[in-house]
Amino acid sequence: MTVPGEMDAKRSDELLTDERVALPIVSSELVFKGKVWDIRREAFLYNGEEIVREFMDHTGAVAILAMDETERIRLIKQYRHPIRSREWEIPAGLLDMADEDPLEGAKRELAEEVDLEASEWHVLSDFVTTPGGNNEAIRIYLARGLTPTAEAFDREHEEADMELRWVSLDAALDAVVERRVQSPTLVVAVYAAAVARSRGYSSLAPADAPWPQRAALRSARTAAGS
């Protein structure tokens, strides 16, 4: 006789891993073509039932936690119109070029947003931002061995008046824990960096580590004809 909860108890120590699922797609339609991202409507079969969902079809993005030799991190404060706030963030950008290598995209964004280059790159974290409403996947890199770029980049629109600041990792962690900053890339990056530091940075992955989530989403986008 199986006691309720016994199976969960037996499996509690198993390695947790998200499961990729390839469902039969009945139809896939682009219902809104935006300047940056699109809205897609798809019908798919799940447990024998046809379900329709609409979601933001996103290009994917990269973000960079740039850390100097004293474990300070480079932050920017930028206006974000949907939330009517100027929020503290880490450098980040869209992977909107065809077949762009994510590491090369991260190097570009680090230079363009904070005028820095890095000699040492590792994958800090991968995450999906809002899986119930969009397919945005973000890879966060830890960049160290920082040096200034040869020249500063011109910035426009919301980036024109960005504030830049060096902040210790501990001060950033305090701001996250006390809910004073809420950018998801910053929150994930700071927590991940704090855990990595506590483990002697042994949890970092190589800069060219596979990114299965993005690969799967790009394949799905190609199959949908977008």
**Cα–Cα distance for residue pair 125/190, rounded to 1 Å:** 10
pLDDT (0 to 100) of residue 212 = 83
- Structure letter (DSSP) for residue 67: B
Band the pLDDT of 225: cuts 50, 70, 90. Answer: low
Instruction: Give this prediction's pTM.
Output: 0.87
**Cα–Cα distance for residue pair 141/99, rounded to 1 Å:** 19
User: What class does CATH assign to 61-213?
Assistant: alpha beta
Over the stretch 82-133, which tens digit does the pLDDT of each residue have? 889 999 999 999 987 767 899 999 999 999 999 999 999 999 999 999 988 9
What proportion of the chain, given as a percentage, has pLDDT over 90?
A: 63
pLDDT (0 to 100) of residue 219 = 63
pLDDT (0 to 100) of residue 148 = 95
Sequential DSSP letters for 155-218: --GGGTT-EEEEEEHHHHHHHHHTTS---HHHHHHHHHHHHHHHTTTTT-EETT---HHHHHHH
CA distances from 183 to 46, 80, 135, 205 (A): 33, 10, 18, 23
Cβ neighbours of residue 210 closer than 8 Å, sequence gap 6 or more = none
Is 159 one of the catalytic residues?
Answer: yes
The residue extents of the domains of the chain are 19-57, 61-213
Over the stretch 200-220, which tens digit does the pLDDT of each residue have? 999 999 999 998 877 766 666
| Average pLDDT rounded to a whole number, residues 56-79 | 94
From the list 137, 145, 144, 123, the residue with the least C-alpha distance to 189 is 123
Task: Please pick, among 87, 159, 163, 178, the residue that the annotation labels catalytic.
Answer: 159
Sign of the dihedral defined by the CA atoms of residues 73, 74, 80, 82, in that order = negative
